[in-house]
Amino acid sequence: MHIDKEIDTRGLNCPLPILRAKKALTDMTTGQLLRVVATDPGSLRDFQAFARQTGNELVEQQQLGEEIVHVLRRR
């Protein structure tokens, strides 16, 4: 999977990971992939809701130890 942009939100709590992802997505073009690395356990459901509300596709969510990786495709 080719990731076009990655942001690190480790140590940040809700709503900061979502806000950083939203800002990053505005600079991207349709179809590009954004990878977000987070440590907030609430980010799992937050990114699911964010994808539903914005129309961006949540391609993958993966928990790797304490880190949670979210991959979004820009609408």
3-state SS string for the chain: CCCCEEEEECCCCCCHHHHHHHHHHHCCCCCCEEEEEECCCCHHHHHHHHHHHHCCEEEEEEEECCEEEEEEECC
Instruction: Say whether 65 is catalytic.
Output: no
The catalytic position among 7, 14, 28, 58 is 14
Catalytic residues: 14
